[in-house]
Copies of this chain bind each other. A is one copy, B any other.
Amino acid sequence: MKDKVLTEPNCAANQPEMGLEDIREKVMHLFSLSDESIEAERERERLVGIVAHNFLRASHVSTELELRALTEHFVDTRIPTDPCDIDHYFEYLSSNVVAHSIRTSSPRFIGHMTSSLPYFVRPLGKLLTTLNQNVVKVETAKSLSPYERQTLAMMHRLIFNFPDDFYVRHTQHSESTLGMITSGGTLANITALWCARNACFAPSGDFRGVEEEGLPAALQFYGASEAVVIGSEMLHYSFDKSAGLLGIGTRNLKKVRTDERRRIDLKALRETMEECRARNQRIIALVAIAGATETGTIDPLSEMADIAEEYGVHFHVDAAWGGALLFSEKHRPKLKGIERADSVTIDAHKQLYAPMGLGMIMLRRPQLAKVIEKQARYVVRPGSFDLGRRTLEGSRPGMSLFLHAALHIIGRKGYEFLIDEGISKTFYMAEAIRRRPEFAFVVEPEINILTYRYLPEAYREKAADGELTKADNEAINHANRALQRAQRREGRNFVSRTIVETTCEGETCPAVVLRAVLANPLTTEADIDAVLEDQVKIAANLFTNTAARARAV
């Protein structure tokens, strides 16, 4: 795509300064619900509709304009004195912001967890903004409070599948919390460990609990040397945030080594649990991953549930990505054991196809969240129906709108279709990679995330024979970094990159790999082939020519 010329909103250009009456009139027109204002809104809506559809239907993933050049158009930090002309601003938005946004919905944007969305979320986006409910309390969210509870109960049932009477009792009971909507998986994971920490260092005798007395006092009362959280080295970085934030310390997040498929090594896990016990460290939670961000790996959930049970430790499953596999008859068995978790993170803005900003934490026991309950004098009073009594966030929008709608309009079988398709496309891509001599796997794919790397010609034979040296590996890493950057810059296709461990000269060494995420229902096999062909072509340009030129010199 050609890069459009950028213009500043430049609102005040050639205008005399406005008087108070002009200001009043301009501002009141924005808030008014007069026929005239509603007509003005409809007109802008029509414009946005066109901009939106042009954006969605464009063929590129991103513009070629370099980030550094782009930033130069966002440097004026003075707030305009007078109100800008709204059409002027919308034009600016269209040419500066929309034009250079990433087309995350593109069938050839297969590098991150953001995909195309079902069309009904767009009118719902407008509805959400119109309602402008604040779900922290019933007084600003009368119907959305029970509606959100219902949505969470539906998800609870999907995971834990308790008998009917459980849901009759708890779904709309103000003292029960089946889960919370959060702004994303990070807050869900933090909330899970917050609950786990508080339950672990609960009030007892004279001790009023860690939430009230703090972590140093808690360790002292419970006679523990430290508080730790245990998971694998594939844990999402939100667990580092959690450990830091909660006062535990990131060094007390014990990252257990993984096997060749990047699943937690159960023997090493047991050793770590024993070690913590021997060192008098209190284990706040054992965390399993269901769909690792980098490789899609699913930890052995049942075995980990056993271990958590044996040690009497809170069992959390980070299923931010993989939780949606529950919809698929075929793939659900991969999550066996998730129903034994104390808490589960799922992101609706990932494989439930809701827009960005919709995470969830689900709790097996409806009373667990009591350990984080807060109250105030003007809202979230004890006993109230206010959802804000037991959430990390305070004021927040009614995002459950997107999820409740999707659960109905897509339905269980619709989700099953989406999950099955994504995984089957991944295996198509895996085959396509195997067929091409230019690529190799470091880790075999498990679900719909796939990592692989490009091998410059000189290394293919050695790689096949498992004889890459550390220096070879470094050269291959360099090539993959350059390849991913070049493809991103050219903007036709996109995969991301990350680092996984591999072996060189009998030792562990880091492999830079390309990472594909196959979750967009619009992505076809032809798109997958095109992305790979593009990589082969870019690599040829980058490396072969350089090498050829080098030889020619």
Contact = CB atoms under 8 A, between A and B. Distances in A.
A86 B409 contact: yes
A9 to B, nearest CB: 5
Contacts of A251: 208, 212-214
Interface string A109-137: 00111101111111111111111111001
B118 A30 contact: yes
Interface in A13-65: 18, 20, 23-24, 26-28, 30-33, 37-38, 40-42, 44-45, 47-49, 51-53, 55-57, 62-63
Contacts of A437: none
17 contacts: A27-B417, A70-B142, A74-B146, A75-B171, A80-B408, A84-B409, A100-B143, A124-B129, A125-B129, A183-B187, A183-B396, A214-B249, A217-B249, A245-B246, A245-B392, A356-B395, A377-B499
A139 B122 contact: no
Interface string A228-260: 000000001110110111111111100000000
A248 B245 CA distance: 10
B183 A213 contact: no
A411 B89 CA distance: 12
A142 to B, nearest CB: 5
Contact of A376 (B145, B185, B237, B355): B237
Interface residues of A, number: 185
Interface string A132-175: 11100111111111110110011011100000000110011000
Interface string A202-218: 00000010111111110
A124 B74 contact: no
Contacts of A521: 27-28, 31
Contacts of A143: 70, 96-101
Given A245-B392, A249-B212, A81 B412 contact: yes
A504 interface: no
A410 interface: yes
Contacts of A63: 142
A33 B414 CA distance: 18
A83 interface: yes
Contacts of A398: 356
B53 A184 contact: no
A35 to B, nearest CB: 10
A31 B116 contact: yes
A405 B90 CA distance: 9
A221 to B, nearest CB: 12
B132 A45 contact: no
A226 interface: yes
Interface in A398-433: 398, 401, 405, 407-414, 416-418
B144 A97 contact: yes
A375 to B, nearest CB: 7
Contacts of A157: 77-79
A248 to B, nearest CB: 5
B133 A101 contact: yes
Nearest to A385: B67
B140 A27 contact: no
B244 A212 contact: yes
